[in-house]
Chains A and B, each alone.
Chain A
Amino acid sequence: MISRSPGRAGAADTLAGGPRRRRVLKGVRAGAPLPLLLPALIGLAFLILPLVALLIRAPWRSMPHLLTSTEVWQALQLSLLCATAATAACLVFGVPLAWLLARVEFPGRGVVRALVTLPLVLPPVVGGVALLMALGRNGVVGKWLDSWFGITLPFTTWGVVVAEAFVAMPFLVISVEGTLRAADPRYEEAATTLGASRFTAFRRVTLPLIAPGVAAGAVLAWARALGEFGATITFAGNFPGRTQTMPLAVYLALQNDPEAAIALSLVLLAVSIAVLAGLRDRWMTAS
């Protein structure tokens, strides 16, 4: 579209008639103005270039060796496990929360929605510190968890899951809430008149109807959890095999083994592309 020159468009102009001509003209108008085109191309290059550089500098030959080391495998396994567990937690608590926000009118709903969205814009490190204050050994809640149940979350694998869930849940809630708002609430009413309790109506009617939105939200949350760094390192630390996830491993490797860092980054890039491919029906074709 952007490469279509005025000359060619002019030729098409005289040859084709009616709707086709209009389409060509529209294409020219959409791509033409230089003050828009130039920054657009720079922006595009800015986004793509680093990823290309990663591919160019990748130590392809030593790749198999780098990726089969125990540490890499440990980090990858831990990452997948924690991200999946965090996503499960997001689903269990986030879907009902989204339903509450979308379907039940209560005072202060706007404030609650803002609070739910906060972790989205909060620097993850701050999230990690906040989690320490809440769930740390001397935290507001953590104190009781420790003395009553003997549960300690910070600097454990469960801590990683908690940190990731904290950061990822807003993605799921917002995605599911949006889908719920778009879904026709009258289906729930129809279910009610057939004798379904509100919970049955949700489980048997609403949930299947919003399943695509829930799936998309879960994938988003999973991807966010997989890449989590700030909150994780603050709340759970950086212990190989226990709390060292891929992003932490990448950061650490960059200090003493840059090639390994690149290799690990490529793995995460591949996962990201896979996520995007999985979501393409939902977003990329929407435009």
Chain B
Amino acid sequence: MTDIEKATVDAPASTGEGLDTRLLVERGSFRLDVTLSAAPGDVVALLGPNGAGKTTALRALAGLVPLSGGHLRLDGEELDRTPPESRPVGVVFQDYLLFPHLSALDNVAFGPRCQGATKAESRARAAEWLARMGLTDHATAKPRRLSGGQAQRVALARALATHPRLLLLDEPLAALDARTRLDIRAQLRHHLADFEAVAVLVTHDPLDAMVLADHLVVIEDGHIVQEGSPAHIARHPRTDYIAHLVGLNLYRGEAEGHTVRLDGGPGITTEEDLSGPVFVAFPPGAVTLYRERPTGASARNLWRCEVAGLETHGDQIRAALTGQLPLAADLTTVAAAELDLYPGATVWATVKAAQTHAYPA
């Protein structure tokens, strides 16, 4: 867990700008313990499987779930006991939760109105936000008349209109269809780049996280398992969940020079010269399959496997293999046909040492 910045846990950052928090929430047998810190302008993505506690963390930040322990400081201000309506926090909910009886304009004006602005002022501010989102034409529309993408932008405008110092987005793109998603993701990225305070978004989609965030926090089972920049995490996954998300084969073992002995498995020859516990990762595309044992001596990473399943993956075929080394291999449709692959077929898999990547665990 060297990636986790333990320093922020102990350091008294009470006067620091931005977000500094340790969220402890206990609910029955579930325990969430997440430490986050971010500077103004940062976009942090909480990434994790369903039930990992991402949404609970977000609700705790918003004050909708009480903290069982820890602390929450925003721009140096203690917010642990502040009720949600008094927190300078804006939330974009997963299904937006636009008030169905109010027009887009009045939805956006709701926040300023609650903060004490007059009706006219609130509406003027709301109109400004809608204009910024390119929604002026839809100001009078009720939410049910808005498309998914429009509703998402109204929800974002509504959250931003209160000038929050912490913006929370719960699966901001999950409710959109694939085409709108691409578009809205680009727009959201643009709006988040403009946002000068801290933004925290929750997603289970690695692409959303990588495109939108500059810092990734991966949560599994209530705990942070890895954090860092998207590029770093994509290259150095530390759990099967992340490896699967970023599409890598991942193994853990003990390195001795160029050989990594896997826990209860075969060895992998790597380019890196390491010692001690390490991770080894390689992409499915680096795997070459043969039906007969290849005679060439070059591939030292050679394993006898069995095809467990086949599925299309983009314009390729991804084969799930079991046997000496469980792994995923990508091959072209033509190659799959020529090899006559079917579940249960025996294959030989090789990976060049140069295409593996080993790093300390």
CB–CB A187/B111 < 8 A: no
CB–CB A187/B85 < 8 A: no
Any B CB within 8 A of the CB of A190: yes
Instruction: Tell me the minimal C-beta distance from A38 to chain B in angstroms.
Output: 47
Cβ of A193: which chain B residues have Cβ within 8 Å of it? 62-64, 84-85, 87, 89-91, 159
Chain A residue at minimum C-beta to C-beta distance from B110: A194
Distance, CA A187 to CA B99, complexed state (A):
7
Any A CB within 8 A of the CB of B115: yes
Chain B residue at minimum C-beta to C-beta distance from A186: B97
Instruction: Tell me the minimal C-beta distance from A170 to chain B in angstroms.
Output: 27
Contacting residue for A195 out of B64, B93, B99, B114, CB 8 A: B114
Beyond A194-B162, A195-B114, A195-B162, is A205–B99 a contact (Cβ under 8 Å)? yes
Any B CB within 8 A of the CB of A103: no
Distance, CA A204 to CA B85, complexed state (A):
14
Distance, CA A209 to CA B114, complexed state (A):
18
Any A CB within 8 A of the CB of B123: no
Contacting residue for B93 out of A190, A196, A208, CB 8 A: A190
CB–CB A194/B158 < 8 A: yes
Cβ of B64: which chain A residues have Cβ within 8 Å of it? 189, 192-193
Any A CB within 8 A of the CB of B100: yes
Q: List A residues 169-193 near B (Cβ within 8 Å).
A: 184, 186-187, 189-193
CB–CB A191/B62 < 8 A: no
CB–CB B110/A204 < 8 A: yes
Cβ of B93: which chain A residues have Cβ within 8 Å of it? 186, 190
Any A CB within 8 A of the CB of B27: no
Chain A residue at minimum C-beta to C-beta distance from B83: A192
Cβ of B115: which chain A residues have Cβ within 8 Å of it? 195
Any A CB within 8 A of the CB of B101: yes
Any B CB within 8 A of the CB of A5: no
Distance, CA A72 to CA B163, complexed state (A):
63
Instruction: Tell me the minimal C-beta distance from B161 to chain A in angstroms.
Output: 8
Interface string of A26-42 (1 = CB under 8 A from B): 00000000000000000
Cβ of A200: which chain B residues have Cβ within 8 Å of it? 114
Distance, CA A275 to CA B350, complexed state (A):
80
Any B CB within 8 A of the CB of A197: yes
User: Size of chain A's interface in residues, with CB distance under 8 A?
Assistant: 18
Distance, CA A192 to CA B158, complexed state (A):
13
CB–CB B84/A192 < 8 A: yes
Cβ of B162: which chain A residues have Cβ within 8 Å of it? 194-195
Interface string of B97-116 (1 = CB under 8 A from A): 10111000000001100110
CB–CB B101/A208 < 8 A: yes
Q: List B residues 48-102 near A (Cβ within 8 Å).
A: 62-64, 83-87, 89-91, 93, 97, 99-101
Distance, CA A189 to CA B94, complexed state (A):
13
Beyond A190-B97, A209-B100, A209-B101, is A195–B111 a contact (Cβ under 8 Å)? yes
Distance, CA A184 to CA B91, complexed state (A):
17
CB–CB B111/A194 < 8 A: yes
CB–CB B91/A197 < 8 A: no
Cβ of B110: which chain A residues have Cβ within 8 Å of it? 191, 194, 196, 204
Distance, CA A192 to CA B111, complexed state (A):
9
Distance, CA A219 to CA B162, complexed state (A):
39
Instruction: Tell me the minimal C-beta distance from B58 to chain A in angstroms.
Output: 11
Instruction: Tell me the minimal C-beta distance from B286 to chain A in angstroms.
Output: 46
Instruction: Tell me the minimal C-beta distance from B234 to chain A in angstroms.
Output: 32
Distance, CA A221 to CA B196, complexed state (A):
53
Instruction: Tell me the minimal C-beta distance from A93 to chain B in angstroms.
Output: 24
Cβ of A194: which chain B residues have Cβ within 8 Å of it? 85, 90, 110-111, 114, 158-159, 162
For A190, A200, A209, the residue with the greatest tally of chain B CB atoms inside 10 Å of its CB is A190
Chain A residue at minimum C-beta to C-beta distance from B84: A192
Distance, CA A125 to CA B99, complexed state (A):
45
Interface string of A200-228 (1 = CB under 8 A from B): 10001100110000000000000000000
Distance, CA A198 to CA B90, complexed state (A):
17
CB–CB A190/B91 < 8 A: yes
Contacting residue for B85 out of A186, A196, A208, A209, CB 8 A: A196
Given A190-B91, A190-B97, A195-B111, 6 more pairs with CB closer than 8 A: A187-B97, A189-B84, A193-B63, A193-B90, A196-B85, A205-B99
* Interfacial residues, chain B to chain A (CB-CB below 8 A): 62-64, 83-87, 89-91, 93, 97, 99-101, 110-111, 114-115, 158-159, 162
Q: List 19 A-B contacts (CB under 8 A).
A: A187-B99, A189-B64, A190-B97, A191-B99, A192-B83, A193-B63, A193-B64, A193-B84, A193-B159, A194-B110, A194-B158, A195-B85, A195-B114, A195-B115, A196-B110, A196-B114, A205-B99, A208-B101, A209-B99
Q: Closest 3 A-B residue pairs measured CB to CB?
A: A195-B114, A194-B111, A190-B97
